[in-house]
């Protein structure tokens, strides 16, 4: 088990002994713990000073939980998920927020989101401002935005995928399957994470200040974008596969059409050649020196008539510039429908008001 701790006082952040269980009077305490399956007993002993629920602490190591919010009265348990930095896979972060202005984060694997915020909060007084609940909201924001980065990367590659699909590139099937698998890995946590942030922004717990709720409201918007973007990405991949199948079928149709035209042109010629190849002496132009020229002319005429019929029905044609322009116009129109990306700030809190909550007025009057 590895532990580390930071304490903030009057906007100044400093490293403190990891066994410290008291936060500064005007700041917060952040204890980050990396544990393994064999460290349950040590974790229970370490967190006993914070009076955390032992079952929740035990489950933080032994069980896999989707994002959620549990209110134990004296402390909150917020389970959020982050994105690994070496592959498309989510990991669990159990965040305990106590009434003593302390935040305890527990995770089994290295967390890029925690490491990033851990370094930045020591350099910026603005990030160190607020309480432990604001720190939790900032951590949730950093972790959730990593999912948005996956959507941005997909949007950068979707045009290439569409071009390959329309070209019937057979290797696109493996790429689309890999993307669908990666999106499926994070889709199962993005929707529960959005619901957990919705609970946080509307929670009546006294451990969450109005400023923290506003921050969670901003994080909820980011999580909503991530969840919606993943759903849209999966839909786009399905449409890309449909486009590939359509292009592949179109190519097969073109091949069949060429073979059909060839067979239709050659069939009457074969018939004429077969008739004049019979061993009868009374066939027309058999005794004539120019007989073969006459028969060849008839065969050429029949071939030209057959080709003319195929041209008239549209089986043989060349693409026009007008048709190409219409195709490009449709492509640009679809690209214009791509939703715009909105990026919120981790430093600033939105100014929108918190919606009225049942029982909040009575609590304020008391």
More confident residue, 24 or 78: 78
Does the residue 254 lie in any domain? no
The answer to whether residue 315 is domain-embedded is yes
236 and 328 inside one domain: no
Residue (of 247, 202, 238) closest to 220 by Cα position: 202
Same domain, 154 and 232: yes
Q: 362 in a domain, yes or no?
A: no
pLDDT tens-digit profile of 43-64? 888 888 888 988 998 888 888 8
Residue 81 located in a structural domain: yes
In a domain, 264, yes or no: no
- How many structural domains is the chain composed of? 2
pLDDT at 241 (0 to 100): 86
* Separation between Cα atoms, residue 347 and residue 130, nearest integer Å: 11
How many angstroms separate the CA atoms of 322 and 175, rounded?
A: 33
Residues 6+ apart with CB under 8 A from 46: 1, 3, 19, 33
Whether residue 202 is found in the same domain as residue 57:
yes
Q: What is the mean pLDDT of residues 285-308?
A: 83
Domain identity same for 40 and 106: yes
Is 62 part of any domain? yes
Whether 199 and 331 map to the same domain: the answer is no
Between CA 312 and CA 185 the distance in angstroms is 53
| pLDDT score of 318 | 55
Whether residue 143 sits in one domain with residue 51: yes
Residues 88 and 150 in one domain: yes
Residue 219 has pLDDT above 90, yes or no: yes
Same domain, 236 and 282: no
Q: If pLDDT is split at 50, 70 and 90, which confidence band does 76 have?
A: very high
Domain that holds residue 118: 2-242
**Using CA atoms, how far apart are residues 245 and 239, in angstroms rounded to an integer?**
10
Q: Write the CATH number for 217.
A: 3.30.460.20
Torsion of CA 79, 80, 85, 90, to 10 degrees: 80
Domain assignment present for 115: yes
The yes-or-no verdict on residue 194 having pLDDT over 90 is yes
Largest CA distance in the chain: 122
Burial of 55 (0-12, 13-18, 19+ CB in 10 A): exposed
Residue 211, both tokens: 């400023």
Q: Is residue 268 part of a domain?
A: no
Tokens of 252: 């097969």
CA-CA-CA-CA dihedral for 305, 309, 315, 319, to nearest 10: 80
- In the chain, the percentage of residues whose pLDDT exceeds 70 is 85
Element (H, E) at 4: strand 2-9
What's the pLDDT score for residue 69? 93
Assess whether 220 and 296 both reside in one domain. no
Q: Are 226 and 118 part of one and the same domain?
A: yes
Considering the domain architecture, whether residues 46 and 140 belong to the same structural domain is answered as: yes
Q: What is the mean pLDDT of residues 66-82?
A: 92
Three-state SS for 119? helix
Out of 217, 242, 267, a domain closes at 242
Is 291 found in the same domain as 213?
Answer: no
Query: What are the tens digits of pLDDT across the range 83-125?
Result: 888 778 888 999 999 988 899 999 998 888 999 999 988 888 8
Q: In this structure, is the dihedral angle defined by the CA atoms of residues 19, 21, 23 and 29, taken in order, positive or negative?
A: positive
């Amino acid at each position: 088990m590895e532990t580390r701790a930071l304490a903030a006082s009057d906007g100044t952040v400093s490293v403190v002994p990891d066994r410290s269980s008291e936060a500064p009077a005007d700041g917060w305490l952040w204890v980050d713990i990396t544990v393994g399956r064999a460290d349950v007993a040590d974790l229970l002993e370490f967190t006993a000073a914070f009076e955390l629920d032992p079952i929740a602490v035990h489950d933080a190591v032994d069980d896999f939980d989707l994002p959620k919010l549990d209110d134990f009265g004296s402390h909150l348990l917020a389970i959020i998920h982050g994105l690994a930095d070496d592959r498309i896979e989510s990991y669990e972060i159990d965040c305990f927020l106590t009434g003593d202005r302390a935040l305890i984060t527990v995770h089994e694997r290295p967390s890029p989101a925690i490491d990033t915020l851990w370094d930045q909060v020591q350099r910026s007084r603005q990030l160190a401002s607020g309480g432990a609940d604001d720190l939790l909201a900032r951590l949730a924001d950093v972790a959730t935005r990593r999912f948005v980065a996956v959507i941005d990367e997909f949007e950068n590659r979707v045009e290439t995928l569409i071009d390959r699909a329309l070209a019937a590139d057979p290797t696109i099937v493996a790429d689309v399957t890999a993307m669908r698998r990666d999106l499926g890995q994070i889709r199962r946590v993005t929707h529960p994470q959005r619901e957990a942030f919705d609970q946080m922004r509307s929670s009546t717990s006294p451990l969450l200040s109005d400023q923290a709720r506003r921050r969670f409201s901003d994080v909820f918007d980011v999580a909503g974008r991530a969840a919606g973007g993943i759903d849209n990405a999966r839909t786009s991949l399905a449409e890309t596969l449909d486009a590939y199948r359509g292009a592949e079928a179109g190519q097969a149709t073109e091949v069949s059409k060429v073979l059909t035209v060839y067979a239709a042109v050659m069939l009457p010629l074969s018939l004429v050649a077969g008739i004049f190849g019979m061993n009868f002496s009374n066939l027309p132009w058999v005794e004539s020196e120019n007989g073969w020229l006459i028969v060849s002319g008839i065969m050429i005429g029949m071939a030209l008539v057959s080709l003319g019929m195929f041209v008239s029905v549209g089986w043989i044609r060349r693409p026009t510039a007008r048709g190409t322009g219409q195709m490009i116009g449709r492509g640009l129109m679809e690209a214009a429908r791509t939703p715009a990306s909105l990026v919120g700030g981790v430093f600033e809190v939105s100014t929108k008001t918190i919606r009225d909550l049942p029982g909040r007025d009575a609590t304020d009057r008391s």
